[in-house]
Structure 1
């Protein structure tokens, strides 16, 4: 592999070419026992992602702060995966809320390794690791991706004055979002928060969930698991497992337990804490929760187990009748996935990642956080109906295997990392001949065109058919996009209102929504930019019209909102997209999806596609035997009582 300083190709490297990844996780070590105040899902994520990237052939070094003087300089975690303890501050545990002053020393240590390590990119986990990665990019030109795992503005919203992180966290996160080459959202709500609270560019956002390892978690013999844990076969067991901190909402579970009917005397196992010994002196939250249980009258039915090793958790999941997790907010939540993988139904708070992983009424149920009555209702339902619980568990296993294995997560992350590694910060790179830059640009475009030529031909024809049919029935076309796509929208409208190739044809009714700056700025200023195009669609669109949405990623929030408003209003929808197509793809009756994630390549192919669509639309308009102006056809259809508006869903010819 070529070192970063001389590997100048901007094209993503082949999928089979291994990457050298500097994974940064300042407080969440893959070596730490789980369940403590600062050890939980992020530790699992870092360990599993590193291992599975290694199994894909990539080399991963995990940089995490040294919290013990006995740790060696390098620990082999797995094949091609190492953990490198970073000397920054005392070689002892330090609360993560107090780590920010140690980050300059942490960054200097990592920078020394990066200078001699030949890394292709950094993957930062949490905002302080993101700060380190941003400094590495500024100093050394190393591109980076970031997974935040939690966002300061969301935390501050829910915890208020109890949030112990410094105010500087917000500004640091905003900088990271601006400078990261890729931002990994862990669920749809995380993506929305990043866009709305941090103005993240949708083109650099990639939504990739967390996962589970089928070799760790799978269904098993419930009676055997209960025997191993000393539980009676007839017990009704509710399980809560994870970090013991107030925001996890364990008090809500205890209150719900107290509200169960008298014939459903269930017991609650609470797994987690700073040590195997569940003492309040070691884990203060246990003391508070014991008092909650006493006040609710269920102290004899709530058992605090203490922390347990990864190899012990499966028995707890398998032994439980139901797993419960009702935090106030949750960036993702790995424990519900692990429970589902073991065939245990999950009752979860309808927040964050849990709302994405638990299929309500299919693999478990979602309830509001901080609502013990709603939780008690669902607990009673599942505990009283073993057949329902078994069916929920079966469907849970099927769902997590289809969507949430660490193998699938790592493969998607590797794809994103390959794209990141193909970018280089020009400020720190060796000079490149101008002719090479030009050749590289042509080569990159030709490569995308070669892939697009076969895959997009039929889609371009279908798009032209959709728009020609719109004009034929007397409808108009609305077009929207942002940035360069806004220019494409106006260009497209100009070609069809004016003429493209065919002289003498009538102008076609096409409106570029991006051209109305008064409406755009007024609505964006008064309400919000996410709905500017949707507002115009609602005002100008009529059933039988069509909307063209242009987005290089398919994740532009205002284009997605416009497509949704068009569908609701009876308009046909066509989307010109790139990358994976994002949420816009599902809202389009017809789509042209450019097979590239590079914005400039996508835009170049968009221009070609729009020109081809203009040419085909003109051919179809001129081929009509009744050369009656569009407006006259609309009036004729209305005057004769003809239904000129078909179902808005477009059906291709033939």
Structure 2
């Protein structure tokens, strides 16, 4: 007899014996390369993986045992210890090859059956399930129903918003979007997950608006909790320390930085166009961009080739440096060494790199097409610009470079704002408060994070 996800859930409910090991949380993040030290820049491996790992660490410090459930492929170990109280459990589905997040949902029923079998064999029960992105949201519903606990879903990005941004930015490619990004199927599954889970967690005010307006969720179904950063790693240093760090990166003169994966929505082509405006006004300014590639080799990435051609066409080859993405341990010093950090994304649910840069004392410009800017005071905490307008972005960059008092003010205040809103300890406590609210008197979502 064929075992369906539904029949397996009923079997699990009858057979599972919960071990008495204290309070335990299941984090589900099925796509990408989830690891204790994630290979950032690999396909589908970026801010979300960092979010899950760091949040899990802080939840463990609050006294929970945290299991991070993900997909096993390419010969990965079935279990990996992250920290005391935190481990990664990998479950196979769909074979040994990498599967892109846009299409992993096809194998989520198989993944869920295998995950529930392991939970049953090991006697695992959970206080709640927190799933991340829509593929894991499907799994989260199956697992939480079987375990008999609440399912809190954190989407990280929203299908309707991304589709709108892509259609606005690349209208000529609209007909191919469904085959590449699977928007129709994604949005259908998102709606089902949002309707059925106990609570949806927005990471920004813009996301909250989308959940209400595009998906029709009631206001008491959505809580807002921003991503966090590790304040033991990302913090400002003295001017003397900063100068020595700049030597490590080979920075000379003033350096504008940005970092991320080579993706059309990240806006690095716009940043190059904006930098051309800066380069005409300041002879001592350089642009440094470590870029991760989803191609097997960075040099073969067509998007990289397009950006390199753009740099040459603008005559900026002596002013712009592109490298491979940096190792995670270098990131704090990279931010500290920057005279200006830019987040040029055309679509950015939040913007973790900008938070880390602000926390490290780098003057920062964020995009008005992302979620972060609505929590910041313009001219005090950071500056923001339209990532569809290279002229606007370039002139905004010039303001920071031309006026030292602006640079100093947003450096100091940006670091303070990051510490006040975005530390992982605070994020973990807010998540626990949301779960407690499911059983009691839920707090108003707007009170979970102050919005400037």
Q: Same fold (TM over 0.5)?
A: yes
Instruction: Work out whether 1:355 is the aligned partner of 2:351.
Output: no
Counterpart among 327, 339, 357 of residue 309 in structure 1: 327
- The 1-side partners of 2:142 and 2:357 are apart by 39
- The 2-side partners of 1:157 and 1:262 are apart by 34
- The TM-score normalised by the length of structure 2 is 0.86
Counterpart among 174, 177, 181 of residue 165 in structure 1: 181
Instruction: Work out whether 1:39 is the aligned partner of 2:45.
Output: yes
Matches within 5 A, 1:590-629: none
Contact conserved, 1:30 with 1:44, CA < 8 A, in 2?
A: no
Higher Rg? 1
1:76 and 1:245, CA in 2 relative to 1: closer, same or farther beyond 3 A?
Answer: same
Count of residues in correspondence between the two structures:
414
Tell me what 2:356 maps to: 338
Between 1 and 2, higher relative CO (CA 8 Å, sep ≥ 6) is seen in 2
Tell me what 1:388 maps to: 406
Report the secondary structure of 1:376's partner residue: helix
Give me the CA root mean square deviation: 2.5
Counterpart among 123, 129, 139 of residue 122 in structure 1: 129
Counterpart among 250, 253, 262 of residue 271 in structure 2: 253
Counterpart among 219, 223, 226 of residue 243 in structure 2: 223
- The 2-side partners of 1:277 and 1:346 are apart by 31
1:318 and 1:277, CA in 2 relative to 1: closer, same or farther beyond 3 A?
Answer: farther
Contact conserved, 2:27 with 2:66, CA < 8 A, in 1?
A: yes
Contact conserved, 1:36 with 1:244, CA < 8 A, in 2?
A: no
1:30 and 1:205, CA in 2 relative to 1: closer, same or farther beyond 3 A?
Answer: farther
Deviation at 1:110, TM superposition (A): 1.7
Tell me what 2:106 maps to: 101
Matches within 5 A, 1:505-544: none
Q: Deviations over 1:518-569 (max 9, x none)?
A: xxxxxxxxxxxxxxxxxxxxxxxxxxxxxxxxxxx7xxxxxxxxxxxxxxxx
1:96 and 1:284, CA in 2 relative to 1: closer, same or farther beyond 3 A?
Answer: farther
Contact conserved, 1:39 with 1:243, CA < 8 A, in 2?
A: no
Q: Unaligned 5+ residue runs, structure 1? A: 7-16, 423-443, 449-552, 554-578, 587-654
- The 2-side partners of 1:133 and 1:142 are apart by 10
Matches within 5 A, 1:549-568: none
Matches within 5 A, 1:121-140: 121-140=128-147
Report the secondary structure of 1:34's partner residue: coil
Contact conserved, 2:261 with 2:294, CA < 8 A, in 1?
A: no
Report the secondary structure of 1:23's partner residue: strand
Q: Unaligned 5+ residue runs, structure 2? A: 1-11, 15-20, 168-173
Instruction: Work out whether 1:273 is the aligned partner of 2:292.
Output: yes
Counterpart among 380, 383, 389 of residue 365 in structure 1: 383
Tell me what 1:26 maps to: 30
- The 2-side partners of 1:581 and 1:247 are apart by 29
- The 2-side partners of 1:67 and 1:355 are apart by 37
Q: Deviations over 1:56-84 (max 9, x none)?
A: 11111001111331x32211101110101
Instruction: Work out whether 1:189 is the aligned partner of 2:194.
Output: no
Matches within 5 A, 1:463-478: none
Deviation at 1:418, TM superposition (A): 3.3
Tell me what 1:80 maps to: 85
